[in-house]
Amino acid sequence: MIRLVLVEDEAMLRGALGQLLDLEPDLTVVAQAADGTAAIAEAARHVPDVVVMDLEMPGGPDGLEAAGRILAGRPDTRIVLVTRHARPGVLTRALRAGVRGFVPKSRPAAHLAQVIRDVHAGHRHVDPEIAAAALVLDCPLSERELDVLRLTREGLSVRDIAGRVHLAAGTVRNYLSSAMTKVGAPSRHAAARYAVERGWL
């Protein structure tokens, strides 16, 4: 029997999906959680084989951050992320974190059940549409542009970034401006968010 922890912030969806998965002869939902913090606690308490978790959850850690914390404590736990907005960059970050499955919420419960079986058996499952999008998504930013956007994400000022990368503040501004232009972002912070969403940072 494959033991599951199910994490979904929408109560109705969580309850319905839990019932559907429990109908599968080889799956059992041992706990449910409504947010990332509760997911981490339930995974530690029940030590499930697989955690099925919503990627987008309000407040606290999102599904990706919660997955990382769960895997830090028990790296043999299999994580399957489900999402309405399956951006390719998120897929890249999820795979780097050790997530084994990535499924859009548009897929039926029977499909999710089979994905759970596959990742439990040691396989990785990535939705084909998401995988195809990720393959064609090239990063137009240079290494220096990525460096200054990465430091922008840390909340550093232009002057502080310049000190960290050993460049003049004007040069840093030029890199930031170039990055903003390439991705069509109105600010350096928006450019950094754009880069994160696409898995470039």
Query: Above 70 in pLDDT, residue 195?
Result: yes
Q: In which band, very low, low, confident or very high, does the pLDDT at 70 lie, cut at 50, 70 and 90?
A: very high
127 & 149 share domain: no
Mean pLDDT computed over 151-159: 94
**What single letter denotes the amino acid at residue 171?**
T
pLDDT of 57: 84
Domain count, the chain: 2
CATH assignment at residue 89: 3.40.50.2300
Mean pLDDT computed over 168-185: 95
pLDDT of 136: 56
Mean pLDDT computed over 66-75: 95
7 & 72 share domain: yes
Average pLDDT, the chain: 91
40 & 97 share domain: yes
- Going from the C-alpha of 48 to that of each of 77, 89, 123, the distances in angstroms are 7, 27, 17
Burial class from Cβ neighbours inside 10 Å (0-12, 13-18, 19+) for residue 160 reads: middle
63 & 97 share domain: yes
Give the helix ranges, DSSP H, for the chain. Answer: 11-22, 36-46, 63-73, 88-97, 109-120, 128-135, 143-153, 158-165, 169-183, 188-197
Burial class from Cβ neighbours inside 10 Å (0-12, 13-18, 19+) for residue 94 reads: buried
Q: In which band, very low, low, confident or very high, does the pLDDT at 106 lie, cut at 50, 70 and 90?
A: confident
Q: In which band, very low, low, confident or very high, does the pLDDT at 86 lie, cut at 50, 70 and 90?
A: low
Across 14-18, 60-64, 121-125, 128-132, least confident range: 128-132
**d(C-alpha 98, C-alpha 76), whole Å:** 10
**105 DSSP assignment:** T
pLDDT of 133: 62
127 & 161 share domain: no
CATH assignment at residue 180: 1.10.10.10
Mean pLDDT computed over 91-108: 87
